[in-house]
Structure 1
Amino acid sequence: MRKLAFAMNVSLDGYIAAPGDDLGWSVPSDELFQFWSDRVAATGLALYGRRLWETMSSHWPTADQQPGVTPAHIEYARRWRDMPKVVFSSTAGAVDRNTRLVTGDAVPEMARLKTEDGGPMEIGGATLAAVAMRAGLIDEYAMVTHPVLVGGGTPFFTALDDWVALNLVETRTFPDGVLLTRYETRR
């Protein structure tokens, strides 16, 4: 069975985006950018909600062709393009490259994908992650916490009906006081 992880940058007060979808507080150091690139390389299938898909697909397909691009960005762009993806949306238009669009109920499809062979799955987007959290489908939470309070915005966690017990499996520090905490769901 495949493992499903939810991993994102998060402010110290628990938000993945500040009001107005502002991400300016989460600019990664070179070391943190490499961490994210390595996660993309290890992902067997990425699951995206519409908004994050639109953000990522508007930049990364051609990011390696921009003036002044760094070798790390070239590598990330290649890895992102090569990674198989599924977009869950009832309103998104067509998707391209190695991406499939799912317009129906996300929960049964995510549960089915977990039973397939292949590498680990990574979920992206707060709305889609909230659906997976409430359905008990997430096996790992990786929070890359930045030392900033943004005061509101899009929360990393959603309201849940039941407690979810977790085991801490990794901590790691990055430059600028950024801290990775990675937890696995206790089953």
Structure 2
Amino acid sequence: MAKLLYAFSCSVDGFIAGPGGDMSWLTPYLGPDPLVDELIPRIGALLVGRRTYGGDDPHRGTEGEGKAFGGGWEGPQFVLTHRPAAAAPDVTFVGDLEEAVTAAKEAAGGKYVNVLGAGIARQCLEAGTLDEILALPVPVLLGDGVRMFGHPGGRTIRLEVLRPNWYRVVR
């Protein structure tokens, strides 16, 4: 059965995007990464937040073609939104989290559903559907922006180490 994986790059101080969702900070750090190269063929579908789908991606320009990871991956994408965008190949807009997770898992087969976007990852954590987290720290401090995870008032979520930077969510 497919598992939901939140794989992301982040600054050492825990930000996945700069102020206003700016992703341009990541561009100088993109390049060959053996862990990402190993992960890409294990991804069967994407579950994407609407802001991430239409946001300031360092690979901007490939998302309309249904290509993620700078064109290194192709397949079905499920965008959680109440504001569908223009149709794109292999992109399905879904208005309900449970429906989006179910459809993405079905499309992924036995592979991972890669979650893209802090907001949707947070919703999956709260719904108990997120299985694993892969953090790819980048050697930079941003100081402000979109946190990898935030919960007003705090919340502890236990993680089990599977391998360096790769964790299982403990329920």
TM-score band, normalised by the shorter chain? 0.7 to 0.9
For the 8 Å contact 1:47–1:121, the answer to whether it is kept is yes
Say whether 1:85 aligns with 2:90: no
User: What stretches of structure 2 of length at least 5 have no aligned partner?
Assistant: none
**Equivalent residue pairs, number:** 163
AA of the residue aligned to 2:52: L
For the 8 Å contact 1:10–1:144, the answer to whether it is kept is yes
Match of 2:32 in 1: 31
Q: Deviations over 1:47-105 (max 9, x none)?
A: 11112212469511589xxxxxxxxxxx951x43x2211111111323321111102x2
Classify 1:99/1:38 alpha carbon distance in 2 versus 1 (closer, same or farther; 3 Å): farther
Match of 1:186 in 2: 170
For the 8 Å contact 1:10–1:143, the answer to whether it is kept is yes
**How far apart are residue 110 of structure 1 and its match?**
4.3
Match of 2:9 in 1: 9
For the 8 Å contact 1:133–1:158, the answer to whether it is kept is no
How far apart, CA to CA, are the structure 1 residues paired with 2:53 and 2:130?
19
Q: Relative to total residues, which structure has the larger helix share, 1 or 2?
A: 1
Classify 1:159/1:31 alpha carbon distance in 2 versus 1 (closer, same or farther; 3 Å): same
AA of the residue aligned to 2:53: W
How far apart, CA to CA, are the structure 2 residues paired with 1:186 and 1:128?
18
Percent identity of equivalent pairs: 27
User: Which of 156, 159, 166 is matched with 1:163 structurally?
Assistant: 156
For the 8 Å contact 2:5–2:115, the answer to whether it is kept is yes
Match of 1:143 in 2: 135
**How far apart are residue 148 of structure 1 and its match?**
1.9
For the 8 Å contact 2:78–2:104, the answer to whether it is kept is no
User: What stretches of structure 1 of length at least 5 have no aligned partner?
Assistant: 64-74, 172-180
**How far apart are residue 29 of structure 1 and its match?**
4.8
Q: TM-score under structure 2 normalisation? A: 0.79
AA of the residue aligned to 1:31: P
How far apart, CA to CA, are the structure 2 residues paired with 1:48 and 1:62?
13
Match of 1:54 in 2: 54
For the 8 Å contact 1:37–1:76, the answer to whether it is kept is no
For the 8 Å contact 2:78–2:100, the answer to whether it is kept is no
Match of 2:91 in 1: 99
Aligned-residue CA RMSD in angstroms?
2.9
Classify 1:76/1:145 alpha carbon distance in 2 versus 1 (closer, same or farther; 3 Å): same
How far apart, CA to CA, are the structure 1 residues paired with 2:124 and 2:132?
11
Larger Cα-atom Rg: 1
Classify 1:96/1:148 alpha carbon distance in 2 versus 1 (closer, same or farther; 3 Å): same
How far apart, CA to CA, are the structure 2 residues paired with 1:119 and 1:16?
24
Q: TM-score under structure 1 normalisation? A: 0.73
Q: Deviations over 1:128-174 (max 9, x none)?
A: 11111111211111111122221111110131875322111122xxx
For the 8 Å contact 1:166–1:186, the answer to whether it is kept is yes
